[in-house]
Structure formats: C-alpha cells, structure tokens
Amino acid sequence: MILWFLGTVLFLAYTNGANDNFKGVATLFGSRTTEYRRALWWATATTLAGSLAAVWFSAGLMTAFSGKGLVPDALVHDPAFLLAVGLGAASTVFIATLTGLPISTTHAMTGALVGAGLASGGAVNIGRLSHSFFLPLALSPFLGMLITGVLYPAFRHLRVRMGVARQMCLCVDGGVPQAVLVRPDGTTVLQATGIQLSVGQLSACREQYHGRIIGIDAQWVLDRLHYVSAGAVSFARGLNDTPKIAALLMTASALSLRLETALLAVGIMMAAGGLLQARRVAETMSCRITDMNHGQGFTANLVTACLVTMASRFGLPVSTTHVSCGSLFGLGAVTGRARWGMVRTIILAWVMTLPLAAGLAAVVRGLV
C-alpha cells in the first residue's frame, strides 16, 4: 500500500507539472517574445526554485492540504484515504492535460479530499471547506480578471505619455526587425523600401515597441521585464503548489520523510511532467484564449505573480491556473481579442473538476 501511495503522489506531481508548468511562461510564447522550448526551460528552472523555497515560506499550505480540520483526524494518516485522494486528483488532472485544458490541481485535490472523506464514512467540515478552500478558489480568477482589466489600460496610458509607440515589424531569421507600414488600400509594405509583403512574410510580423525609457530601448527593457514576470509566476506556482502535494507525503507517517526530501521529490516530478507533456496546455494558454503583445503579456504575468505569491505567504489555497487564466480573460476583455468560446470551455472544465475528482477518489476509496 505504501509503495502504491508513493507512486500515486509522484504521479500527481508529474501531472501537475504537465498541466501547470507552462502557465507562467504562456505569455512569453503567446506574444512571440521567445520560442516554446526556451520558454519551457525558463518555466522549469523557476518553478523548481519555487518548490525549494517552499521549505521556508509555505508551511500553511502543508497544513491545509493534509486534510486536518476538513475530515476526521482518524482519516488523515490512513494510507487508503491518502491513496484515494492522490489518485482521484492525479487522474482528473491527467485527463485534462490530455485534452489540453488548463485546470487547477488545487481544485482537484480539494474535490478528492471531500470525495475520499465521504466515501470513508467521515463527516466533511463544510464550514472550513467553504471558508478556507472554496472562497479563495472562487474569488481568485475574478480578482485576476479585474486587476488586469484596470492595470493594463493604466500601463498603456503611461506608455503613451512616455512617448513609446507600438510598431508592426517583420522579423526574419533573427535579423534586425524592419518596420512595416499598412497603406490606405490595405497592402502591407516595408516602411524603408516600399516592398510589398507576401502572406508568408505577414505571418512573421509582430508588434514591437519603438521609443526609449531612461535612454534604453523600450523593447529591450520590456522583454527583460517580461522574462522576470514570467519567472515570478512560475516561482510563485512552485511555492504554492509543491507543499500541497508534499503534504500527502508528509502525512503518511510510514514513509518517515523529511520535509526537504518530500518537497525536492515533488519538485523534480513536477519539472519532469512539464518537460515531457506540457505542449497541449501550452497551446491553449498561449494562443487559444486571447491574442497578446509583449506589454499585455507582461501585465497579465505581473498580476498573477503578485496574487499567487501573496496567497502562498498567507497559506491561502488559490489556484495559479485560475489566477493566470483570469488575468488572460481580463486582458482579452479589455483588448477585445478574447476567444469567448474557449473561455467558456475552460470555465466548464473548472466546474467539472471538483465533482470528477471527488467521484474518482470515492471510487478508489471504495476499492481499497
């Protein structure tokens, strides 16, 4: 039973990485600031750093996701109960990953705790469930959407006041970007030469910023800030998610693991899941929710990083998925580029996460 449990928790960490690791850097890829593989490695390194930092900063989340106070104490150390929680949550996240839908591991673990608790014949503390779990999970995407919707227009106004303009450029084979001009008749030409661009060349065009900030090229500054903000989101995700999964390992007294060992094992498996199986969710987060440019992606990342880091500091089980997607929803609403069909599909997946995880955990608990 212990070996099955250990494998299940590591599988949960793997599926978490596969579904979640790219979310912090989705805007880097979506805005074409960098290519997929480089963004993925940046996400992996910064997420692992957050996982290791959880040793000092995320004790509150370890307690919350051990199940203490949510289900009877007799269940908290029961290997069969813990196995059901881990397998119910892992299976739910894995199914979502295969379909390319970004869901919340936090949400799945919450549902699995409830389902396994009920199937074990124990009463679930509804008051604690609503106040400590559902409220942060429900509010976080709306906060992300609202703050992004307010902050991006403010940043855009500040950019204009500083004299930094947006310019469509043609970037080919890593060469110097060449300014593109759209004529009144709709044709697109290179501004310097007047050469008309083909359809293939138009696909290589992207928006860049033209101007200087305290004497430094504005695009250069924004690209660096964008990388920092993406790394901050990934770091915050590692800080927030790793202790939730490690809590299952630490609760199983038969394993006798040190906290550092549990967090490192979870962090490594999260990194492996992201490197091996993140592509489908990456495409959804980067390209299928909304179009974005560099400044818009930076704003969404900044909001996500701040909210998730604050939640980790105070032991609140918010979902990085909900916050990052909420920020992208707000961005798409402000710019008018949101793909609302995909937004509705993602929200439906969120609604189904809790009952699916609860049902799967209850089935596993009934079998073991």
Per-residue pLDDT tens over the stretch 182-229: 666 656 666 656 666 665 555 555 667 777 877 888 888 888 999 999
Give the list of residues 6+ apart from residue 61 with CB closer than 8 angstroms, or none.
54, 240, 243, 244, 247, 312, 315, 317
Q: What is the pTM of this model?
A: 0.81
Q: Give residue 294's pLDDT band: very low, low, confident or very high (50, 70, 90).
A: confident
Task: Say if residue 236 is in the same domain as residue 266.
Answer: yes
Of 210, 228, 244, the position where a domain reaches its end is: 210
Residue 74 pLDDT class (50, 70, 90 cuts): low
Mean pLDDT of the chain: 82
Q: Is 198 exposed, middle or buried (0-12, 13-18, 19+ CB in 10 A)?
A: exposed
DSSP string for residues in 138-193: HHHHHHHHHHHHHHHHHHHHHHHHTT-EEEEEE--TT---EEEEE-TTS-EEETTT
- Could you tell me if 59 and 99 lie in one domain? yes
Q: What does the pLDDT read at residue 203?
A: 57
Range of the domain at 303: 2-159+219-367
Decide if pLDDT at 181 tops 60: no
Same domain, 180 and 235: no
**Average pLDDT over every residue of 248-275:** 79
3-class secondary-structure state, position 232? helix
pLDDT at 300: 92
Same domain, 76 and 192: no
Please give the radius of gyration of the chain, using alpha carbons only, rounded to the nearest integer. Answer: 22
Residue indicated by tokens 């040793």: 55
With a cut of 90, say whether residue 257 has pLDDT above it: no
Residues 126, 36 share a domain: yes
Q: Are residues 87 and 232 in the same domain?
A: yes
- In the predicted structure, residue 127 carries a pLDDT above the cut 70: no
Terminus-to-terminus CA distance in the chain, angstroms?
Answer: 9
DSSP H/E element including 76 = helix 73-76
Tokens (6 digits) for 138: 């429900």
Contacts 24+ apart (CB under 8 A), 123-130: 123/71, 123/72, 124/70, 124/71, 125/69, 125/70, 125/71, 128/69, 128/70, 129/70
What pLDDT digit, counting tens, does each position of 104-114 carry?
Answer: 888 898 889 88
Most confident option among 78-87, 218-227, 313-322, 340-349: 340-349
Contacts of 18 (CB under 8 A, 6+ apart): 93, 94, 97, 273, 274, 276, 277, 278, 281
- The pair of structure tokens assigned to 115 is 């389902």
pLDDT value, residue 138? 75
Q: Do residue 271 and residue 178 come from a single domain?
A: no
Sign of the four-CA dihedral 261, 228, 12, 14 = negative
Backbone angles phi, psi at 321, to 5 degrees: -60, -50
Q: Are residues 328 and 205 in the same domain?
A: no
Note whether 40 and 276 are within 8 A (CB): no
Do 203 and 297 fall into the same domain?
no
Residue 302 and residue 186 in one domain:
no
Span 138-157, average pLDDT: 90
**How many domains is the chain built from?**
2
pLDDT at 288: 94
Residues 36 and 117 in one domain: yes
pLDDT for the residue numbered 253: 52
Which of 56, 48, 60 shows the shortest CA–CA distance to 24? Answer: 48
109/90 Cα distance (integer angstroms): 8
Average pLDDT over residues 334-358: 94
Angstrom CA distances, 111 to 177, 239, 316, stand at: 49, 21, 16
**Residue entry with tokens 């104490």:** 73
- The pLDDT of residue 227 is 95
What is the pLDDT at residue 122? 66
Instruction: Render pLDDT for 327-341 as a digit per residue (tens, 0 to 9).
Output: 999 999 999 999 999
Instruction: Give the percent of the chain with pLDDT over 90.
Output: 39
Same domain flag for 108 and 22: yes
